Structure 1
Amino acid sequence: MSQDAALFDTIIVGAGTAGCLLANRLSADPRRRVLLLEAGGVDDYHWIHIPVGYLHCIGNPRTDWLYQTEAAAGLNGRRLRYPRGKVLGGCSSINGMIYMRGQSRDYEAWAQACGDESWRWGQVLPYFKKHENHWRLDPGAAPVSEDFRARHGHGGEWRVEKQRLRWDILDAFAQAAQQAGIPASEDFNGGNNEGVGYFEVNQRKGWRWNTAKAFLRPLCLGRSNFELWTGAQVRRLLLEREDGALHCRGAEVGTPKGLETVRLKPGGELLLAAGAIGSPQILQLSGLGPAALLQGLGIEVQQDLPGVGANLQDHLQIRAVFKVQGAKTLNTLANSLWGKAAIGLEYLLRRSGPMSMAPSQLGAFAKSSPDKTWPDLQYHVQPLSLDAFGEPLHGFPAFTASVCNLNPTSRGTVSIRSADAADAPAIAPNYLSTEDDRRIAAESLRLTRRIVAQPALAAYRPEEYKPGPQYQSDEELARLAGDIATTIFHPVGTCKMGRAEDAMAVVDSRLRVRGVAGLRVVDASVMPSITSGNTNSPTLMIAEKAAEWVLGGT
């Protein structure tokens, strides 16, 4: 092998949501030699592909980094499990499969924060559509409006389907939400997602559709100019100074064979796509981050970037549980041998039913108060209940109405603990640390109660089990939110993009790391503010734009 053949035009760190799309788009150019590095293994674990298998993937070292948050005052001293995908497909292999773009206002705010019109809603919409394959545009599907066709794509790699189940109790909740003033919605992805309806999911014929299937197989893995390394954890980036300027030249990688060095060709780029936890960790390990943190750990400061690991944002869901009567829920169905057998048989024969379930089936977007211009709350409603994720289902019929503040003002941090890449970073989301977040938590619980009190649910005689109807004041409800709330696993913002004068901006609007040539960050960490909904699909859009910039040399 010649020395030049050992060099790469592009090195992508992380084969998750963004990394798989980047690998596909960039290796489509046969002149470009592309290396994709994934710290986890291949996605051959059967529970990855069965939708309900997220229950077996989260908390499993085969597929999850097994992070935990720091104890949070806003959660009354609790720590939370913090799943992140450690496998091909990354979080798209273990997430809730919900297809959600967010709202147009999110992208207008990004454009303002970055001073770049290309992030406006009208400019990002074509990049959502480019890889979309929406079921309502399939041949033979019911006719749709021209407005719907203008908003959605067909024929791309990222399959979007309707769910293959329904529940009477969820239909009743949807009717109750409408009675409470929340309109019905058939499309949460038109720019304003206000309404109630069943979520659409990233599945194909009842199987999970992760980004490894969508973008790596079959074309990408068969290209002679493309290499994929699994079990390859980046220890640090290779940074060199030339004429006073800092350049990224490659990376040191821990592999099953030992420590290896991978290098870029002159003019090549390394694309950091390790996610909102992994990307700031790798930057800090490489000497790019807050100077005081790095110096305290004995790491030479290559570039003082105080925003690396700052600005952490996440969606915190407040899980309200209601006992019901006369309703079929998963609690009773899955707590009997007959019920489990029926569930398994339905999936085996039809690829439908509870085994095809996303973690949340029914969604709603609402306003926490009448003075809001846009919806600022999202509901994930489930025909089941349990004390905590991973715990057994309750022995009584019940449903859970989880509600989250879409636009939290609390901000947290991701910080390495040592110079060893094997040490998990400290993750401190600082949930409910602002008065605004605590107030909206209380208001969201009140809205949940108002929905459940509507006539459509009366036949099921709902009884509030958690947090409990005895809690009424803002102070009580905010404290109870701290007791029962959990993450929905949407961390973003830890390498945010922004204007040149923003000292906390880590990357510019083209995702290039400040002061380092040949290095971009391309994942959810670059979001200046969290989107109003699930974050997987916006991350794909970011990668789609970045791939175009890399190929165009801009």
Structure 2
Amino acid sequence: MKSDYDYIIVGAGSSGCVLANRLSADPAVSVCLIEAGSHDNNLRIQTPAGTITLYKSRKYSWNFLSAPQQHLNGRSLHTPRGKALGGSSSMNSMIYIRGHASDYDRWAEAGCPGWDWNSVLPFFKKSENNRLGQDTRLHGTQGELNVEAARDPNPVSQLFVNAAHKIGIRRNDDFNGEQLEGCGIYNLTQKDARRLSSYRAFVAPVLERANLTVITDCAVQSLILEQRVAKGVRVVSEGQPTRLTARREVILSAGSLASPSLLLASGIGPASELENAGIKVEHDLPGVGKNLQDHLDGLITVRSKSPLTLGFSLGSVPSIVLSPLRYVLGKKGWLTTNYVEAGGFARTPLAEALPDVQFHFVPGYRSHRGRLFEWGHGYAVHTCVLRPKSIGQLRLDRHGKAVIDFNFLSAPEDAKVLIEGLKLARRILADQQFDPIRGTEMLPGKHVQTDEQLMTYVREYAATVFHPVGTCKMGVDPMSVVGPDLKVHGIEGLRVVDASIMPSLISGNTNAPCIMIGEKAADMILRGDRSTVERHVRDHATAG
């Protein structure tokens, strides 16, 4: 295995795969993309409906557990992250959402010039291959990432959209258009009824590039630092420890949990925390691991006798048996579902001008017991707090192990928004659109009605919706980790490029923003390289 490269990218997730593509487009530059997980050549990953089997997979998921949550009855929350080429884009629900324009303007106002909406929009468009004929002022059509309509959405998903409209929530066919607010069927990152992860979109098509090396099943232990300059990484590959060196940059794209963990393991972070864990302090950077944010989710799940919904029963046996044939021959049927087919953004009575909750509607029964599969039929709505105020952290314990503490509901406002969101979801499900398949609400249950009862339910059942961000915050304040150029403060030759750099959580799913971050980072790196070359040419000419 070659051991020296121009760029080493740690993490083949949504941002890292974009970087690998763009940087390796120059044949004079060598790029190494490292993934701790395995290859993605498995039908469970490539078939959309397989996503439900991945969240607790030992092979394809990092099954992290959070610290006991003080405001959620001391529960530790399951926190899966993708463990394969494509990272979490190889196990997510493939929903293409950018968030609201104001999310990015807020980044710029927080000390991150160049990250406002007008500045990041071209990078969203660069990646996108919009197959829906949507507004070309806001969508791209020449990129690698297909954005398509769901192939064969369950008719119950349309009931949810119709019911939301009946209670006053507008229909929205493009959540990345002029307005975020409204309900509709989600657009997905798919191609030919198959998942289109960041790896499949950006790296698999360019594997023939001689200057691009992709290494799987390779665990990065720490950075190699010399005089506060990143020189490479220490890894374990095929059971053997080795060193890979980078002539230009090491780029961490391992996600909001692994990127700060690698910085801490390398002695970059809060000095007192590193000392307590017995790690040599290479650079005191107090913001590493802080500013953790995520969307907190509450579930309403209903049992129904209708075999129209996704589920396991004697009545659904024919559709289940025929689903492989329908998928292979017509790209239709159960195997095309991403489960959270419909949803949208709405304002509770607590909201001001912008939506404060997001819905993810499942046209199938979500187990009230937390099981992966449950016998029977039904439907469910997940409701999440869109702009949470609760801030957590990833820190080290005295043994040097990373502790993930979301600190959910530490801000009381979040609980109030979630309770109002659950009430709004119930109003949608109570509409007459659902009368033909009306069932029994299993969670929270009809006995849970008052705000106090709903609060008790939230503390017992609320969970993460899998959008952790912010732990290597971008900015210029004392708690920021990277600058607007994504270079780590105080360390040369090192950047962080993934969801961890977000100063604040965006209003929606995080995969598309991570791809944008990869695009913008690649552009900054390439422009910087060009400027360096041009400067060297000028200096040489002057000297001559």
Query: Into which bin does the TM-score normalised by the smaller protein fall?
Result: over 0.9
2:424 equivalent to 1:447:
yes
Match of 2:322 among 333, 338, 342: 342
1-side partners of 2:40 and 2:339: how far apart? Answer: 20
2:123 equivalent to 1:127:
yes
Do the aligned partners of residues 518 and 472 (structure 1) sit closer, same or farther apart at CA in structure 2, a change above 3 Å counting?
Answer: same
Which string of whole-angstrom CA distances, capped at 9 and with x for unpartnered residues, describes residues 281-332 of structure 1?
0000000011121101111111111111111111121110123455611125
3-state SS, counterpart of residue 218 of structure 1: helix
Match of 2:39 among 24, 32, 42: 42
Contact 2:156 2:308 in 1 (8 A): yes
2-side partners of 1:518 and 1:504: how far apart? Answer: 20
2:48 equivalent to 1:62:
no
Contact 1:14 1:272 in 2 (8 A): yes
Return the offset for 1:484. Answer: 2.1
Show the counterpart of 1:194: 181
Match of 1:263 among 241, 245, 255: 245
Show the counterpart of 2:148: 161
2:493 equivalent to 1:518:
yes
2-side partners of 1:365 and 1:398: how far apart? Answer: 22
| TM-align CA RMSD | 2.0
Contact 1:321 1:401 in 2 (8 A): yes
2:202 equivalent to 1:205:
no
Do the aligned partners of residues 303 and 437 (structure 1) sit closer, same or farther apart at CA in structure 2, a change above 3 Å counting?
Answer: same
1-side partners of 2:209 and 2:89: how far apart? Answer: 23
Show the counterpart of 2:11: 14
1-side partners of 2:212 and 2:79: how far apart? Answer: 32
Which string of whole-angstrom CA distances, capped at 9 and with x for unpartnered residues, describes residues 419-466 of structure 1?
77xx6x221111222210111111111111222222322343344221
3-state SS, counterpart of residue 83 of structure 1: strand
1-side partners of 2:350 and 2:76: how far apart? Answer: 33
Match of 2:164 among 163, 174, 177: 177
3-state SS, counterpart of residue 364 of structure 1: strand
Show the counterpart of 2:536: none
Show the counterpart of 2:537: none
2:371 equivalent to 1:384:
no
Which string of whole-angstrom CA distances, capped at 9 and with x for unpartnered residues, describes residues 148-201 of structure 1?
111101121111111012333222221111111110011000253101100011
Do the aligned partners of residues 102 and 333 (structure 1) sit closer, same or farther apart at CA in structure 2, a change above 3 Å counting?
Answer: farther
Return the offset for 1:125. Answer: 0.7
2:457 equivalent to 1:460:
no
2-side partners of 1:23 and 1:166: how far apart? Answer: 34
Do the aligned partners of residues 191 and 531 (structure 1) sit closer, same or farther apart at CA in structure 2, a change above 3 Å counting?
Answer: farther
Show the counterpart of 1:233: 219
2:81 equivalent to 1:84:
yes
Return the offset for 1:277. Answer: 0.5
Per mean C-alpha deviation after superposition, the further-off stretch among 273-282 and 370-379 is 370-379
3-state SS, counterpart of residue 161 of structure 2: helix
1-side partners of 2:468 and 2:450: how far apart? Answer: 30
3-state SS, counterpart of residue 375 of structure 1: coil
2-side partners of 1:59 and 1:115: how far apart? Answer: 36
Q: How does 1:269-280 map to 2 (within 5 A)?
A: 269-280=249-260
3-state SS, counterpart of residue 136 of structure 1: coil
Contact 2:342 2:361 in 1 (8 A): yes
Return the offset for 1:339. Answer: 3.5
2-side partners of 1:98 and 1:297: how far apart? Answer: 39
1:264 counterpart letter in structure 2: A
1:469 counterpart letter in structure 2: K
Do the aligned partners of residues 448 and 498 (structure 1) sit closer, same or farther apart at CA in structure 2, a change above 3 Å counting?
Answer: same
Do the aligned partners of residues 451 and 496 (structure 1) sit closer, same or farther apart at CA in structure 2, a change above 3 Å counting?
Answer: same
Return the offset for 1:257. Answer: 4.9
3-state SS, counterpart of residue 104 of structure 2: helix
Between the two proteins, the alignment pairs up a number of residues equal to: 529
Which string of whole-angstrom CA distances, capped at 9 and with x for unpartnered residues, describes residues 461-481 of structure 1?
344221012222222212201
Do the aligned partners of residues 387 and 78 (structure 1) sit closer, same or farther apart at CA in structure 2, a change above 3 Å counting?
Answer: farther
When normalised by structure 1's length, the TM-score is 0.91
3-state SS, counterpart of residue 169 of structure 1: helix
Which string of whole-angstrom CA distances, capped at 9 and with x for unpartnered residues, describes residues 117-167 of structure 1?
x11111111100101011124xxxxxx5xxx11110112111111101233
Contact 2:301 2:367 in 1 (8 A): no
2:414 equivalent to 1:427:
no
2-side partners of 1:206 and 1:551: how far apart? Answer: 34
1:58 counterpart letter in structure 2: Y
Contact 2:306 2:378 in 1 (8 A): no
Do the aligned partners of residues 123 and 334 (structure 1) sit closer, same or farther apart at CA in structure 2, a change above 3 Å counting?
Answer: farther
2-side partners of 1:166 and 1:466: how far apart? Answer: 24
Match of 2:450 among 473, 488, 494: 473
1-side partners of 2:37 and 2:178: how far apart? Answer: 35
Show the counterpart of 1:292: 272
2-side partners of 1:283 and 1:39: how far apart? Answer: 16
Show the counterpart of 1:405: 385
When normalised by structure 2's length, the TM-score is 0.93
1:207 counterpart letter in structure 2: R
2-side partners of 1:58 and 1:452: how far apart? Answer: 27
1-side partners of 2:399 and 2:25: how far apart? Answer: 36
Per mean C-alpha deviation after superposition, the further-off stretch among 451-460 and 292-301 is 451-460
3-state SS, counterpart of residue 73 of structure 1: coil
Contact 1:323 1:397 in 2 (8 A): yes
Which string of whole-angstrom CA distances, capped at 9 and with x for unpartnered residues, describes residues 227-250 of structure 1?
121121111111111xxxx21111
Return the offset for 1:521. Answer: 0.2
Match of 2:336 among 327, 331, 356: 356
Q: How does 1:24-39 map to 2 (within 5 A)?
A: 24-39=21-36
Return the offset for 1:483. Answer: 1.8
Any unmatched runs of 5+ in structure 1? 138-143
Which string of whole-angstrom CA distances, capped at 9 and with x for unpartnered residues, describes residues 203-234 of structure 1?
11111111111111222x11121212112111
2-side partners of 1:135 and 1:430: how far apart? Answer: 40
1-side partners of 2:33 and 2:396: how far apart? Answer: 24
1:375 counterpart letter in structure 2: P
2-side partners of 1:229 and 1:37: how far apart? Answer: 5
Any unmatched runs of 5+ in structure 2? 530-544
Per mean C-alpha deviation after superposition, the further-off stretch among 389-398 and 21-30 is 389-398
2-side partners of 1:544 and 1:357: how far apart? Answer: 29
2-side partners of 1:70 and 1:504: how far apart? Answer: 22
Show the counterpart of 1:218: 205
Contact 2:276 2:398 in 1 (8 A): no
Contact 1:299 1:419 in 2 (8 A): no
Do the aligned partners of residues 22 and 227 (structure 1) sit closer, same or farther apart at CA in structure 2, a change above 3 Å counting?
Answer: same
